[in-house]
Structures are given as structure tokens and as C-alpha cells.
């Protein structure tokens, strides 16, 4: 990792005070947003903080205050089951370590997420975790020099953040391989909105898997929809309008798959006899559905736990700016929604 040696060492509050020409107490008052500091001194302190990339030690900021550390968690959709499991893993882990979370929901709006991102520098938080992506890209370098940053399933890459991501190539290869063994050669794909980073990466991985098995993919086999039960319903209806030439559907989420299965059954189709449907990611008690859904065992809770642990580790690390990438392999869970191709 190409990080300069002087970047690895934290600046101290004494250095900030010396550069600004004020006392340590004055710097502390500015950091705690106390209004008793005169504007000219406040500006000098803030300028020194920016120039030195000073990051207050979380323990020092809360010393003698009976207030917990705070970590911002930014998510595009709190109603998404997989993302909710990630948040649960984060919250339980941070709570066990007396750290509070501030939850921000962008509602899958890139402009809202951008506003949240830009506002974090002004908020009294000791770290931030960004989960999934709703179309926007940020330069995390400056913010990550001030507070620890962890990204889960996001496209941004730089030397300052920790990233956790599923090995989608391997996951899609397992799903397509499973369907191939069952005799499927015409496999459709239903995924989220075209602006979604996850949708794009899953589609790329799906196409790689098809090429691995020398399978053809046609445009009429591809549907963009929403990550919801209704998205699965509407996606299947649009797919069937194009003609039922496919024998299997790979869905980019379990809620899409469940919506598609329920709609197919209501329309009089038998699953998997008429066509197979597989899902992806986390959903509670998915194995008790009828039919149970073939899917990827998505470790959402554990990813959240690992992300929180990465933040906690950086709190007390002098090399907290150094980032790392963790690519997680997953397993296929075979359910009743996939079966052998019917021979006509």
C-alpha cells in the first residue's frame, strides 16, 4: 500500500494548538462545538485541523463525558432484508463495545446520499460505514484521513478504506452451474435498476458464468426491475410477455425471486416443473417457503459484524488510514424452486 510514512502518524491536539497559536483547551472547545470561542480563533483552529489532517482520538473526545462513540451507517434502503441483516450485525457488535450508531437512509436517491456524505465532516462521529450503493461515487480519501471508513458492497476503491464484498463471480458460477447440471440451457436474468452498482456487478458476473458454460444470452432474457416482491411480480410478467422460451430465471435478490415464484403459481405455472427460479442474498426463514428458494447463502449479518470490528480496530490503531479489501466466498443453498428441465 503506497502510503507516506508521515501519513501513518496521527497529528496531536498539541500540534494543532501550536500551529493555530492557541491553547489546547481552545482546540478542545472548538472540537466540542462550544460557542464561547471567538470566531477568529475558531477559524485558526479549523484551518490548522484541516492542514494537519487532525483526527481526534475517540477516547480523548469522550474522556470524562459519559457519552458513547458514534459511528454513522449509511444505507440506500432500510427495508431491504439483506441490508437490514447487515445493519443488525453492525449494531449488535458496536453496542457490545458501547458505541452508538447514527443511521442514515438515502432511499436509493444518489443526491440524498451525496448530501449525507458531504455532511459527515461536520457531524460528531468517530467513524462511518457505507452499505451498498445507489448510483453515486464519492472520493473517500479526505474523509478517511479524518475518521475510519468501511465500505460494504461498493465500487469505490482507494488506499484509505476497508472494503467488504461478496465474490459475485464465484456465486453466479455456482448458480448457473447448478442450473446447467439440471439441463437448463436458456436462462433468463432479473435484476435491480440499471443505475444500481450491485445490479451491474451481478449482471456482469452472471454473463461471465454463462460464457463459462458456453450458453447464449439474449436481450429478451434480461429484465431490470426493483428489489421488491412487486419487482419480482412485474419482472416475471414482462418476461412472459416476451414469450416463454426460457427454462430458468436467475434473480438478483430473494425478494425478486419470491415475488416471481408467487406470481408464477397464481398464473397457473408449476415451479420448478414449468421453469426454475433461483434467488440471491439474505432473507429470513427462506427455507420454510413453499417451494423453498434455491439461493446463495449470503452472510449479511457476518459482513456487518466484520465491518463494525474493522471500525473498532481502527479506533486504536496508529495505522488506521491503511485500508484493505476482503472478498467473501459464499455457498449455494439448493431449494425446491429449481429442478430438472421438463422433456417435452
Q: What is the pLDDT of residues 102-157, one digit of tens each?
A: 999 988 788 888 888 888 876 778 889 999 877 677 888 878 877 889 999 887 77
Q: What is the pTM of this model?
A: 0.76
Residues 6+ apart with CB under 8 A from 39: none
For the chain, how big is the Rg over CA atoms in Å?
24
- The grid coordinates of residue 19 equal 500551529
d(CA 49, CA 28): 11
- Domains defined along the chain, listed by start: 5-54 (1.10.260.40), 67-166+300-329 (3.40.50.2300), 168-298 (3.40.50.2300)
* pLDDT at 256 > cutoff 80: yes
* pLDDT at 53 > cutoff 60: yes
* pLDDT at 2 > cutoff 60: no
Average pLDDT over residues 262-290: 90
Average pLDDT over residues 269-273: 96
Residue 9 is predicted with a pLDDT of 57
* pLDDT at 7 > cutoff 50: no
Q: What are phi and psi of 166, to 5 degrees?
A: -75, 145
List pLDDT tens digits, range 84-99.
999 999 999 999 988 9
Average pLDDT over residues 322-340: 91
Average pLDDT over residues 31-60: 72
Average pLDDT over residues 223-231: 92
Residue 1 is predicted with a pLDDT of 32
- The grid coordinates of residue 96 equal 457490545
d(CA 165, CA 325): 8
d(CA 263, CA 279): 15
* pLDDT at 59 > cutoff 50: no
Q: Would you call 173 helix, strand, or coil by DSSP? A: helix
- Indicate the helix (H) or strand (E) that contains 130: strand 127-131
* Partners of 74 in beta bridges: 104, 130
Residue 8 is predicted with a pLDDT of 46
List pLDDT tens digits, range 30-43.
776 555 677 888 88
- The model's confidence at residue 317, banded by pLDDT at 50, 70 and 90, is low
Residue 57 is predicted with a pLDDT of 58
Scored b (16 or more CB within 10 A) or e, 15-53 reads ebbebbebeeebbbbbbeeeeebeeebbebbeebbeebe
DSSP code at position 268? T
Residue 318 is predicted with a pLDDT of 52
Average pLDDT over residues 235-243: 93
Residue 32 is predicted with a pLDDT of 65
* pLDDT at 13 > cutoff 70: yes
Point out the least confidently predicted range of 59-68, 132-141, 299-308.
Answer: 59-68
Residue 199 is predicted with a pLDDT of 86
* Residues above pLDDT 70, as percent of the chain: 88
- The grid coordinates of residue 98 equal 458501547
- The grid coordinates of residue 273 equal 416443473
* pLDDT at 67 > cutoff 60: no
Give counts: helices (H), strands (E), the chain: 13, 12
- The grid coordinates of residue 334 equal 439448493
Across the chain, mean pLDDT equals 85
Residue 64 is predicted with a pLDDT of 43
* pLDDT at 58 > cutoff 70: no
Residue 155 is predicted with a pLDDT of 78
Point out the least confidently predicted range of 248-257, 276-285, 331-340.
Answer: 276-285
Point out the least confidently predicted range of 5-19, 41-55, 261-275.
Answer: 5-19
Highest mean pLDDT range out of 141-150, 197-206, 256-265?
A: 256-265
Amino acid at each position: 500500500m503506497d502510503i507516506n510514512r508521515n501519513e501513518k502518524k496521527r497529528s496531536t491536539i498539541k500540534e494543532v494548538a501550536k500551529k493555530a497559536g492557541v491553547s489546547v483547551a481552545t482546540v478542545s472547545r472548538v472540537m466540542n462545538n462550544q460557542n464561547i470561542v471567538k470566531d477568529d480563533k475558531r477559524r485558526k483552529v479549523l484551518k490548522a485541523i484541516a492542514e494537519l489532517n487532525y483526527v481526534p482520538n475517540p477516547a480523548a473526545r469522550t474522556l470524562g463525558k459519559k457519552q458513547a462513540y458514534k459511528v454513522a451507517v449509511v444505507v440506500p434502503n432500510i427495508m431491504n432484508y439483506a441490508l437490514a441483516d447487515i445493519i443488525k450485525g453492525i449494531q449488535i457488535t458496536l453496542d457490545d463495545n458501547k458505541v452508538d450508531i447514527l443511521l442514515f437512509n438515502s432511499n436509493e436517491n444518489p443526491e440524498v446520499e451525496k448530501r449525507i456524505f458531504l455532511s459527515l465532516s461536520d457531524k460528531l462521529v468517530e467513524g462511518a460505514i457505507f452499505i451498498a450503493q445507489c448510483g453515486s461515487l464519492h472520493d473517500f480519501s479526505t474523509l478517511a484521513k479524518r475518521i475510519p471508513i468501511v465500505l460494504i458492497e461498493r465500487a469505490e476503491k482507494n488506499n484509505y478504506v476497508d472494503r467488504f464484498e461478496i465474490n459475485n463471480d464465484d456465486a453466479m458460477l455456482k448458480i448457473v452451474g447448478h442450473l446447467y447440471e439440471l439441463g437448463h440451457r436458456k436462462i433468463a436474468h432479473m435484476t435491480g435498476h440499471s443505475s444500481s452498482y450491485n445490479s451491474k456487478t451481478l449482471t456482469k458476473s452472471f454473463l461471465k458464468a454463462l460464457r463459462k458454460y458456453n450458453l447464449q444470452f439474449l436481450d429478451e432474457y434480461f429484465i431490470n426491475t426493483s428489489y421488491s416482491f412487486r419487482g419480482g411480480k412485474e419482472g416475471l410478467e414482462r418476461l412472459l410477455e416476451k414469450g416463454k422460451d426460457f427454462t430458468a430465471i436467475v434473480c438478483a435478490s430473494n425478494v425478486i425471486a419470491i415475488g416471481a415464484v408467487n406470481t408464477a403459481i397464481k398464473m397457473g405455472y408449476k415451479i420448478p416443473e414449468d421453469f426454475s427460479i433461483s434467488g440471491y442474498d439474505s432473507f429470513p426463514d427462506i427455507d420454510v417457503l413453499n417451494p423453498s428458494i434455491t439461493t446463495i447463502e449470503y452472510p449479511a449479518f457476518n459482513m456487518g459484524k466484520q465491518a463494525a470490528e474493522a471500525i473498532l480496530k481502527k479506533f486504536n490503531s496508529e495505522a488506521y488510514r491503511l485500508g484493505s479489501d476482503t472478498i467473501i466466498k459464499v455457498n449455494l443453498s439448493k431449494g425446491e424452486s429449481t429442478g430438472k428441465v421438463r422433456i417435452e
